[in-house]
Each structure stands twice: as structure tokens, then as C-alpha cells.
Amino acid sequence: MTPITLTLRTGSRTDLIEITWKVRELVSQSGIQDGICTLFVPHTTAAVTINENADPDVVTDMIRSLDKLIPWNGDYRHAEGNSAAHLKSSLTGVSLQVFISEGQLVLGTWQGIYF
């Protein structure tokens, strides 16, 4: 199958955008009934992850924790000002796989996909 490109824009330096609905839509359009959906971010300062999507406070906590763990104003040698983004991307990961069964993503009740 030909890869599908999804273009996204974040609203702030550390952001989590739920893309579950879009991935579901693309899986449905693909016609694939059973298989694996692979998501890959071809960038060094972005990531993709699965986490709770029922309570927006979880996203807020994740963003705050990432910024506390890896602050934007750290003592980094990389001079472009985005070292924190590189580190956050490495910790979170640039790819994940989700099973497809009967044309649907197999996610837990409270799970969502975030970019």
C-alpha cells in the first residue's frame, strides 16, 4: 500500500494533537479489514504516541511534565534553539503500530493517538 501523508501544525512548542479520528478515517478509506497501521513521523523534533483521550487533564499533565523534564531553556550545545524538541521526540518515539481488526483500529476504551 502507498504511504499516506498527513500534515499537521502544532499550536505551541510543546503540544499534543489528538489524531485518532483522522487515522480512523484513513483506515476506513483504505478498505483494509485486518492488518497493522504503522504511523511514522519523518522528523527529528516531532513524535507520535498513544495515551488517554478521555480526560484533557492527562494531555495537560503530559505537556507540563515533558516541559519540566526537558525545559526549553536548558544548557544545550545544539545552537538552533530546538534541542528540547529533539530530546522530547527521542523519548516519546517517532513510530507506532496499531492493529486493524474488521476495518477498525484496535485501541483501548480510553486510548487515543497523539502527534
DSSP string, the chain: ----------SSSS---B-HHHHHHHHHHHT--SEEEEEE--SSS---EEEE-S-HHHHHHHHHHHHHHS-TTS--S-TTS-HHHHHHHHHH-SEEEEEEETTEE---TTEEEE-
In a domain, 14, yes or no: no
In a domain, 77, yes or no: yes
Q: How many distinct structural domains can be found in the chain?
A: 1
In a domain, 78, yes or no: yes
In a domain, 7, yes or no: no
Type of residue found at 48: V
Q: What are the pLDDT digits (tens) for 60-102?
A: 999 999 999 999 999 999 989 999 999 999 999 999 999 999 9
Q: What is the CATH number of the domain that holds 71?
A: 2.60.120.460
How high is the pLDDT of residue 2?
Answer: 84
In a domain, 60, yes or no: yes
Q: What are the pLDDT digits (tens) for 40-60?
A: 999 999 999 999 999 999 999
> Cα separation of 87 and 113, whole Å?
20
In a domain, 71, yes or no: yes
Domain limits for position 103: 20-34+43-114
In a domain, 6, yes or no: no
- Stated pTM of the model: 0.94
